[in-house]
Every structure is written in C-alpha cells, then in structure tokens.
Structure 1
C-alpha cells in the first residue's frame, strides 16, 4: 500500500576534512526555495561542512553557475536547488529535462552534485 511505504534514507557521510559546498538556488518560487536551502544547510552542517549560497534567475541557469564555479573555484561539491511547477505549456518539460541533463553531464565531468530541482 502506498500509504505504508517506508523510504530508505542514506546514512550521513563522514569526512576527514570538512567539505566546502556551494548551494546554487533558483528562487523563482521563493517560499519553496527558502525551505530547500534551509534543509540543505542543515544537512551540510550536520556533517561539519561549510557552505555558500548563490541565487540564479531560474532552473536553467543553475547548471551554468555550477559549471563556472567547478572550473573557477575550490568547492568540494555542489547542491542544485529550485522548484519547477507544471503549467499549461511545455515549458515545464523543457526546463526540467534540460536542467537535469546539464547537471548530469557536469557530474560525468567530475563535479560532485546533489540535484534538488
């Protein structure tokens, strides 16, 4: 039954050195984005990590910002956050597909990314 399913939660990792993470958020739906950022910050702090947060205009800009930071900064990993809500047009599909594809490609190129879009 769907109402009684339990979901597995990965144990928190342990690090020899505190990780430095960049959270990139698209705050188009600000109330939702703020909650996503708060949750990510709390989890990062639980493992002793540090973080910085930057905002970009929308979900399509998140991978670009992560790609630039990966090439030009010294972050150990990245968290992509945002909310895309389905409307009456196909824009939702484009934004979701293209942002997730770009994030996956960055991961394949060596960036450590958690995708929360």
Structure 2
C-alpha cells in the first residue's frame, strides 16, 4: 500500500522576492479538498510566499481557471487541487485525462503549475493521499509549483507572452496609442 512507501522529495526552498500563488480547487469532495488546501497553504507559507484561493465546480474547470488567471491577473505560480474517484461510467477517464492534459499544456506554455488533483479508486485512497499530516499531496503540489517558479526565475525567462496570445491590431503593433496611423 502507498502509505508504507518512502519517496524522495526535494528540499524546501524559499522565494527570493514577493511571490503570489493561486490555489484553484474543485471541492466536490469537501473534506478531501480541505485537507489538500491545508497542505498547500502550509507549504506556500513555509516558502515565504502568499496565496489566494478560488473554487471551481469540478476538476475539468481547474485548468480553465488557471489559464484565465494567467491572462487576467498577476500570479507567479498555480496549485491545482481536487479529487476524482472512479465511478461506474467512463466519465472518470475523461475527467482524469482532460484535467491532467489541460494542466500539462499550461505548464508547457510556461506557467508554473503543481498538479494536486487526486485520481483514485476509492474515497479511502483519497483520504490517505490528501491528509495534510500524511501523504500531503496538496503540499506536494504547492512545492512542485514553487520549485518550477524557482527554475523559471533562475533561467530569467519571462512567463508572459509564452504560448498562444491574442492577435493585436495594427495600431497596437505599430505602437500608436491614439488608434490612428500617420500617412
């Protein structure tokens, strides 16, 4: 069983400048979500960063909310939290695969995202993995996001403008602030 396994984790780091992390959680299983949130908050605070929390209806909406926040706000890193428990239909595979794929695509676009969406067979498995004093997958997801942010800052890469960006009109491209062009 997973509770008896020992895993290596990277040493905890610290942020070198103000850092704002967005925690996006799908609280379908409220007690599991609360444990994931507690672990993520504690890890973020231990790194010296600040955080904000938003809730979305389900795991499929987590990547969308993160993408929106990246375009419309000023967060440095993101933590995706939630829990998907296998049911009687193929919906489980769809939710697991598509939420994970969405988060992976955000990461490939340059966002620093830690994925803490649990995908389990039973509620008991979810409880073991979510417990902040146990496996602490919420804390692990927060640490992953912050480790990625540390790498991005080390390499000096800007995260803005990476991936797909909206097309700008000619006046913006030319730097004309009045919306007209000189002939």
Larger Rg: 2
| Aligned: 1:56 with 2:56 | yes
Aligned twin of 1:85: 85
Taking structure 1 as the reference length, the TM-score comes to 0.95
Distance in 1, matches of 2:104 and 2:7, equals 23
Distance in 1, matches of 2:88 and 2:48, equals 43
Taking structure 2 as the reference length, the TM-score comes to 0.61
Q: C-alpha displacement at 1:4, in angstroms? A: 5.9
| Aligned: 1:108 with 2:108 | yes
Q: Gaps spanning 5+ residues in structure 1: where?
A: none
| Aligned: 1:98 with 2:98 | yes
Q: Gaps spanning 5+ residues in structure 2: where?
A: 118-183
- Could you say which structure has the greater relative contact order, defined with CA pairs below 8 angstroms and 6 or more residues apart? 1
Query: How many residues get paired?
Result: 116
Q: C-alpha displacement at 1:76, in angstroms? A: 0.4
Distance in 1, matches of 2:3 and 2:82, equals 27
What CA deviation, in whole Å up to 9, does each residue of 1:35-94 have, x standing for no partner?
A: 000000000000111000000000000000000001111100000000000011111100
Deviates more, 1:3-12 or 1:57-66: 3-12
